[in-house]
Structure formats: structure tokens, C-alpha cells
Structure 1
Amino acid sequence: MKLRKIMISTLIIALLSGTAVYAADAVVQKLRVWVNKKEVDDGGILVDGKSYLSLKQLNEKLDGIFLVDDSTKRVSIYKPNVHMVTRRDDKMFSDVPKGVKVKFNVFSMIDSLKVDISAFKVTIDDPYGESTWIDGRDNGDKDFPDVGKENFNFLTDDLAYSFDSTGRYIIRFWMKPAGESSYQVVSEKVINSK
């Protein structure tokens, strides 16, 4: 009986040791990821030649709609085409002098939207990250696009905005997927103040 216990214990130890050695054989390396010439924090890892990137990092850098379904372990990524034009006095612009107050609007053309949304908004961030709401709509508004509509245009109301600092002001177009509680950035446009 004692011999049997010793053999079983030896067999279990051998199996566990073999498993630990096998797991240690996996080659794991840190992966540096660059997006638009800037390195992403905690970029990713490379395991046995396969790249693994964080969904959070991808979502923040790729300007798309990421939907995660924990129950089915499925991630759906949607990348609508959203083109924005900044206009003042019906003329396009992308540069403004520092310290000038400009009355402008944003014209957006949206196409290839393959997911239903319940709201969208347009914001501007100053060079220090302070965000200002420009305009937006939700599915209760009469001019909100119909459910399933893939293509639509949107013109914001005029905004009188002071470009008090030198730097990049970022216009962002946000969408809230139907059934979700938060907005996701789907497009960005830069206004430079000098």
C-alpha cells in the first residue's frame, strides 16, 4: 500500500513538473506598438510569433466602435467613414491666429455606418485637454438618422470659440452604439492655432 502511494505521488509530481516545463517553453516578448509616430503605452505582447494587443488601446487609437459581448466572447469592430470640415463664413479653415474668437461650424459626412447608434455628438478639445460640446443629436430628435441608415450628413450649429492658446485643437465626432451607455470617438480633425 505504501509503495502504491509513493508511485502515485511520484507520477503526480512528474506530471506537474512536465506541465510547468512545457509552459515555460512558450516564448513571450514585449511588443512595442507605434500609432502615427507615437509609441502606445503597454503596447502588447508577442507569444510564439502571434501578436496580442489590448482592445482598450486599439479602441483609443483607431477611432472606431468596439462592442464586446462577454457572454459569447465576441468583439465586433465598426469603422464608419466620418469626414469633417470646419467652416467659418462658409469657407473651410484649419488654422487660426492665437487669441482670436472665431464663429464656426462643423460639417460632417458619414457613410458606411454598419451599426445602429442611439446618439452622436461633436466636441472640441483645447491644447490642454479641456473639452467643449459643440452640437449633437440623439434618437429622440426629429432630424436623427433613421435606424439602419448607413449614410447621412450633419451640420452643427455655429459656435463662437476663443482660440486663446497656441497649439492643436481637436474636433471629435462621437457615436453611442444602440444599447450602450457610453460614446466612442469615430473621427478627429485638428485646428492649429499659432
Structure 2
Amino acid sequence: MKVRKLIVLVAAFTLLCGSVAYADSVTQKLRVLVNKKWEEGSDGVIVDNKSYISSQVVSDKLQAIVISDDKKISVFKPNVHMLTNSGNDIFAEVKKGKSIKFNTFIQVDSLKVDISALKLTIADTYGEETMIEQRKSGDSDFPDGKSDFWITMKDISYTFDQAGPYTLRLLMKPAGESSFQVVSEKTIVSR
């Protein structure tokens, strides 16, 4: 009786280990690079010679709006341009320590999804974000239902204390979703 149990146990472990080895050879890890840059957590997998990456990688790295439900994943990539100006001067570089009053002109086209809010932030060289402005559906200056629109965000005064890159981020919240997603970034360099 003990011999029979031992044989069954050995056979079960053999099948289990063989299944794990087979599954590992079918599924291979894939390193995902966007613009020749890899970041922690952006790995994908290859299963049956097909590549799979996280929809979060698509959203974050390609600055696209990704909406997922039980049956599908929809990716929307609007065309967004941002222009910073101070008075009549367009700029993308500032002197370190200088305080500038500026606004951001935003042009959006080919937005194929309804949004319920948008916001503009600026992150300093350490990544600390400051809200510039937020608009939501129902506001008089919100582009409800439009796929193409231009917006001039309010003037702000901002001091560029440190040398290095500052990042303006335009984020949009798809209608019916709870979180904002980055759709465009612009760098202002402080020297």
C-alpha cells in the first residue's frame, strides 16, 4: 500500500514539474522599450509567438487614453500641441531662479472619446507637481463633446528655482472613468 502511494506521489510531482517547465517554455518575458528607454514594470510577454504588453504601458508611454472593460480595450491618441508664452514671447527655456508669468495655449484635434475633465500641471526638476488649472464638464469654458478645440489656460506666476527640466502635463479624464490620464507633455528647461 505504501509503495503504491509513493508511486502515485512521484508521478504527480513529475507531471506538475513537467507542466511548469512546459508553461515556462511557452511564455517568455519580453522587455518593452519606448524611445530606446526601458523602465521598471514595463515588461511584456510572448505567448505562442504573439507579443503582449500592459495597457498601462500603452497609456503611460504613448500618452494615450486607454479605456478597458470586460470584453475590450480601447486606445485613443489625440493630437495635442502645447505652446507656452509670456506676454508676446513664446518660450521653452528660462533662466534659473527667474519668476515668469505665463500661460499655455493648447490645441487638441482628433479626440475620439468624450472627456469629463482636463487639467494642466507643472512638475519641477524633482518631480513635485503643481496644479495650474482644471476644467470639468459643465464649466462655461470646457470643450464638451468637441473632438477639435483650442484652449488658453489661465496665467500663472511660477519661479524656476532649480536648473533642469520642468514638465508641463495635460491630463484628461474620459467620461465615466475615475482617473486622469496624461495625453501630452512639454518640457521647459531652466538654465
Paired residue for 1:89?
87
The answer for the alignment partner of 1:191 in structure 2 is: 188
Count of paired positions: 180
Other-structure match for 2:66? 66
CA distance in 2, matches of 1:28, 1:146: 44
CA deviations 1:45-85 (Å, max 9, x no partner) are: 2233221212222221111111111x33x111100111001
Amino acid at match of 1:118: S
Deviation at 1:111, TM superposition (A): 0.3
Q: RMSD of the TM alignment (CA)? A: 2.2
Is it true that 1:41 corresponds to 2:40 in the alignment? yes
The match for 1:166 is 163
Which residue is equivalent to 1:50?
A: 50
| Structure 1 residue matching 2:28: 3-state secondary structure | strand
Matched residues in 1 for 2:19 and 2:128: separation?
Answer: 51
Letter aligned with residue 52 of structure 1: Y
SS in 1 for 2:131: strand
* Counterpart residue type for residue 109 of structure 2: D
Q: Which runs of 5+ in 1 are unaligned?
A: 1-5
Mapping for residues 117-136 of structure 1, pairs under 5 Å = 117-136=115-134
- Tell me if structure 2 keeps the 8 A contact 1:102–1:161: yes
**Which region of structure 1 is more displaced relative to structure 2, 25-34 or 60-69?**
25-34
* Deviating more after overlay: 157-166 vs 50-59: 50-59
Q: Which amino acid aligns with 1:106?
A: T
The answer to whether the Cα contact below 8 Å between 1:124 and 1:134 also exists between their aligned partners in 2 is yes
CA distance in 1, matches of 2:60, 2:83: 22
Counterparts of 2:75 and 2:17 in 1: how far apart (Å)?
A: 36
Work out the CA distance in 2 between the residues paired with 1:110 and 1:159: 21
Letter in 1 for 2:50: K
User: What CA distance in whole angstroms lies between the structure 1 residues aligned with 2:129 and 2:112?
Assistant: 28
User: Any conservation in 2 of the 1:40–1:57 contact (CA below 8 Å)?
Assistant: no
If the length of structure 1 is used for normalisation, what is the TM-score? 0.84
Quote the residue 1:80 is aligned against. Answer: 78
Structure 2, unpaired ranges of 5+ = none
**Alignment partners' CA distance in 2, 1:139 and 1:109:** 18
Mapped to 1, the partners of 2:44 and 2:178 lie a distance apart of 27
Q: Which of 112, 115, 122 is the matching residue for 2:113?
A: 115
- Cα deviation for residue 34 of structure 1 reads 1.5
Deviation at 1:23, TM superposition (A): 6.6
Residue type of the alignment partner of 1:117: I
Identity between Structure 1 and Structure 2 (%): 50
Matched residues in 1 for 2:131 and 2:153: separation?
11
More displaced, 24-33 or 136-145? 24-33
Which residue does the alignment assign to 1:32?
31
